[in-house]
Chain A
Amino acid sequence: MADWIVFWVIAPVSIASAVAMILAKNAVHSALLLIVNFFTLAVFFLILGSPFLFVVQIIVYAGAIMVLFLFVIMLLGVDERESLRERILGQRWLALLLGAGLVVEVALAVRVGVGFGHGGLPDFTRVNRGGNVQALARVLFNSYFFPFEVTSILLIVAAIGAMLHGRRRIGDEETIDAPIDERMDEPGPEPVPAAGPAEATP
């Protein structure tokens, strides 16, 4: 019963924050609304009987990824006109098409995969015997051990690849670690637009 009340209180907040996130003109506002949305998703995990995923959702998305998002948006500043310009030809129509495709795909996946077609969901109190964390560990380290390890290797490779691409390469020497007086001679990066909520930042 309490689950239902929580769900019906949180669900409108979730949808409203998602819609507002898309409609918000300001990139920082969008990011903040996305954090609200992630929180409501976390609460959904909680009322579905998976406290572990609840915490993972908070620590990974709200705590780490969104902080990095905000960090980058605030550090670089986003020009509002720039972010609204469409760069890909026919972006709008493509987005609509792909969006519709996604909806169909998710609906199919829910119907076939999770098994609304084969009667209700499995009993969570039985699945979670001995605790939710233990249940997850049982599945992850027994049935899905190999995919789990492969995924972790994939993530490490991706992280190292991103680092390699992110490095500035000018000649053979590493310019980032060069002494300061050498760097002073180079032309600096483009001046960034002033960060801050209002345009009238001094």
Chain B
Amino acid sequence: MMKGVWHKVLKVDLSKGESHTENVPDGIYQYFMGGSGLVGYYLWKECRAGTGPFDPENRLIMAAGPLSGSRQSGAAKWTAGAIGPAIKMNVESSATASWGMEMKACGIDAIVISGKAKSPVYIKVSDDGAEIKDAAHIWGKDAYAAEDIIRAAEGDKFEVASTGIAGERLARYANVQTAKKSYLGRCGLGAVMGSKNLKAITVHGTQECEYYDQEKIKELNKALHKRMLDQQSLKPKEFQIAWLGTAMATALFAPQGNLPVKNYSRAEFPEGVANLGGRPYVEKLNAKPWPCRYCVIQCHNKCEVLEGPYAYKGKGPEYESFAMMGFNLLVSNQEAVAYAGELANIYSLDTISLGGVLAWAMESYEKGVLTKGDTYGIDLTWGNADAMVEMVKKIGERTPGLGWWLGEGCQAAAAHYGKGSDAWAVAMKGQEIAAHNWRAQYISALNYCTGVAAGPNHERGNSQHIWVGHILLPEWGIDHVENAERWSWDKAAERNAKFHDYCNVINSAVHCKFQEFASYNLTDLLGVINAATGMEWSQEDLRQCGERITTLQKILNIRYGWQKADDFSYPKRFMEPVDSGPAAGKIPLGLDQAILDYYAHRQWDSEGKPTPELIARLGMEAYAE
């Protein structure tokens, strides 16, 4: 039997108001480990073809992994999944803080939620199981207020995952927050909660899962944490993660041409580089480390803008928020971007999609597709920080008209407002593209087009890190790349496949991918997985586990309606070159063939479906459809 997991999940049926625990066979963990793998397994097992994202039959699954509770830096993550409101296929997202560890301490590996409550509820989970509790008094409150009310009622030991007004009102990229600092950000899982009349899930447990070799885990953690701290201490202050968080990335991405500027139409935004991220982050936003439990790198920050129209105290923006709400909208006012980001968090809007839809709206306004009659009188010009803030409120409230349409995503808004505005909707499969520019490294294009875990996504497959962060996977054969290969398709299929599988093992274990920027590597990951589970896996066993999960996700994509054409319907914007900067003149020509090459590398057929040979090689006959 695999150790480090409970072999139990909690099932909650909101329609019936019932809950019970269910035993999970050991073979499922040996196949899919936990986290993302468990999410995929339960969708495969319970959520049939034809299920819509807002149907009561949709499942919302929150899952821990064998590393949850191991007290290793990065092991505070947890994964959640469902059929997503934007892409309408299986999706998942991960958050951190302490919620996942608390859930596992309740003696379960996952919560599988089905049905729809007759009136607003929240779910309380403890050692004693689940209670479905009335949330009428919380409905209509923002996500943070909901957490405060539930903590006041249940006690501070309870961790809360809640959604805000945008989730209640089914914005298709509504997120779920926990601890006012971490988010199931992408893919609209907050709207899935809203569709179930589910405001929050609160968890607290006292049980410790048995690991295969607890002493070995302690020994690994001690050495690992020392190494990570030592390498941080050698960096100058302006590159120390605890000081700057992910905001440091803007300055390092600019010379690579990786930033999204003006809805991905421009290469450079010097005012943004000067004002967004880096030292100004600390000086203007008074950023202080706000670490997740056990984390030694401490990338989350608490910020405080002391005065002015954008005064607030709370979560500091991450790189993606700076990029999508700042650079992509030509807003260089750091306080405004931070304030708008926190406003989005409180409404429960994903700042990546939000930045994408606002960029589409600003370009539509510039080109006359939208007028002040559409924008509630707001002057939605590029760089207008106040306009950005006002539109966040309109979208968060789901104000009828443009605010409502922008909550549906930029492709839906473009289809509604027409006039050729789909040409600048930087999205595919219904979901906006995150802040990694396809022109800076072509592998990003391949990654977004072929992603199976959560549609187009920058961290369910993060092959862009090969170039933007020099992250390699030497244990899996990726030990050497040249800078010029950014613009080559050679080896792209193999590299992209391995990074997808890599993300799947990280998200199933469950661990934090940001640890890799502080020297965490696949040898570290395998060491702690083996110590936790007793599996004695090799690196090839680990990679194959990732490949099985990827294959299961692909099977689910097909079940929920994926078509080959979806992979080739990528945003037109990336095929328009920019005329300056490091990626001047670069566009991912050859992408169509690269997608077909990726299919072949994956042992998918020319239609993009897993071949019988692949299914047989992975021993997945029972899962094929």
Q: Do A and B bind each other?
A: no
